[in-house]
Structure 1
Amino acid sequence: MKRLCKIAALFMTALLPFASHAAEVQVAVASNFTKPMQAIAEHFEQDTGHKALLAFGSTGKFYAQIRNGAPFDVLLAADEEVPAKLESEGQGVTGSRFPYAIGTLVLWSPRKDYVEDQAKALTERPYRHLAIANPKTAPYGAAAMATLEKLGLTESTRGRLVQGENIAQAHQFVASGNAELGFVALSQVVDEGAISQGSGWIVPASFHPPIRQDALLLNKGRDNPAAQALLEYLKSAKAAEVIEAYGYSLE
């Protein structure tokens, strides 16, 4: 019995270094980055022992929550403005902000061949509803409105727009058939670098301001080793491979 206890004690002692260094990080993630971040979080835990606890939503809503004391360590935003604002307001660690991905907007339909020739589906296809994310709180929604303005279709589509709270809800509107078309994130409909379901038109980057997505270490995560490790991991080659596989580009 004494020998068994000694072996058990040695086993537990061997685990102590790993346990003492492993930690959890609370991450607020823009909903467009759901799929790649789920994959990255899995690799992150396997490679570091740290666990990333993910919450998904609109960047605008996360801004309000963080200002009101939400317990996030890291913000992965869908834009660069909100992280910059939080940093300037003293909610984030100065100098920790960096771009982790450049988003891509796509006009998408779950119907095959529905979006065949660039944006002509908006003028030549019969549809009642066009889904976008809320342009006031979601950068992809703002990019969608800029695209419609570039195409000269702001007024003609106004009565057909249905707004999701975030890009995930906008995608759901289209995927469920409640809207025939929608502007969504390429990451939501891409597989191995190509649109894998339905049909879509990848909006040229020149049609809207860049969807530069910044990461920020928030004050709560300042002394959290898992938070700092996650931000470094996002800059790694393994994370970059995942990010690019979901249709994002990198600076």
Structure 2
Amino acid sequence: MKSKLMPSIVLSLFLLLSIGARPVQAAEVPVIAAASDLQFALEDIARRFTQDTGRNVKLSFGSSGNFFRQISQGGPFELFMSADEQYALTLAEQGRAIDQGVLYALGRLVLFAPEGSPLEPDAELKGVKEALEKGRLKKFAIANPEHAPYGRAAQQVLQTLGLWDDLRAHLVLGENVSQAAQFAASGAAESGIFAYALALSPKLKAQGRFVLLPETLHQPLRQRMVLLKPAGETAKAFYAYLQQPAARTIFEQYGFILPQ
């Protein structure tokens, strides 16, 4: 009797598990892997997308390099919005993306000083150099250049201006550009370089002052997005929405330069 019942019990359990699993449809609420500089802009766009379409997306923010590694290892994302287009293009070459995607924005950098900092931001970082010479600068925040495109661009700025070697001992490295912005805005550092889009957010605007840095001080921050395999209908709809006037207007409001 026992041997006859076992197969039916196993089959019943299998059917119950299968039925219970059906309502969980990842494609209905896709996870979007997005560079940290997009945090405030993309949250606004996602809200507008939901209002206009009735669909929802889940936003996950981090450094583009870390997301690239996760996606290369099969991470559960349907759309990747990178702050460095090379990561997106490489995923396309690996066959993990539907195609090479589109360039959705070019990013900018700012030099930021929190309230109470002795530094006054200037586009040539003369105040930073003077503070270093006088011993008034203890901590300077940037994103980690090893995997964060904005950190790499910040390093290029400091190298171009001849400050990298002197500042290295004073650097506070954020895991991503959003964390670097938090370090600078909170006063954990006297100054820092991070994304213009973050500095324009109401929260950070109220915590300090900043100056936009010349684009000539670093390589262009070309930001590209790609649909990943397999992307569901909602991810595809959001991808298309990001290229429409409503989304592009929000990108512009947060200081991004839009490609034609």
TM-score between the two structures when normalised by the length of structure 2: 0.82
- Per-residue deviation, 1:180: 0.7
* Distance (Å, rounded) in 1 between the aligned partners of 2:122 and 2:178: 25
For residue 30 of structure 2, give the secondary structure of its aligned residue in structure 1: strand
CA 1:238–1:87: 2 relative to 1, 3 Å: same
Give the one of 198, 216, 219 matched to 1:188: 198
- Per-residue deviation, 1:197: 4.1
For residue 51 of structure 1, give the secondary structure of its aligned residue in structure 2: coil
* Distance (Å, rounded) in 2 between the aligned partners of 1:116 and 1:150: 17
C-alpha RMSD over aligned residues? 1.8
For residue 136 of structure 1, give the secondary structure of its aligned residue in structure 2: coil
- Per-residue deviation, 1:165: 0.9
Aligned equivalent of 2:9: none
Identical aligned pairs, as a percentage?
38
* Distance (Å, rounded) in 2 between the aligned partners of 1:102 and 1:117: 22
Larger Rg: 2
* Distance (Å, rounded) in 1 between the aligned partners of 2:240 and 2:195: 25
Q: Does 1:59 align with 2:69?
A: no
- Per-residue deviation, 1:23: 3.2
Aligned equivalent of 2:126: 120
1:77-96 alignment, distance < 5 Å? 77-95=82-100
* Distance (Å, rounded) in 2 between the aligned partners of 1:174 and 1:196: 13
- Per-residue deviation, 1:121: 2.0
Aligned equivalent of 1:18: none
Give the one of 97, 102, 106 matched to 2:110: 106
Aligned equivalent of 2:181: 171
Which blocks of at least 5 consecutive residues in structure 1 are unaligned? Answer: 1-21
TM-score between the two structures when normalised by the length of structure 1: 0.85
Moved runs in structure 1, 4+ residues, more than 6 A?
A: none
Q: How many residues in Structure 1 have an aligned counterpart in Structure 2?
A: 226
Give the one of 122, 139, 150 matched to 1:129: 139
Aligned equivalent of 1:246: 254
Which blocks of at least 5 consecutive residues in structure 2 are unaligned? Answer: 1-26
Q: Deviations over 1:47-72 (max 9, x none)?
A: 11211111111111111111121110
Aligned equivalent of 2:220: 210
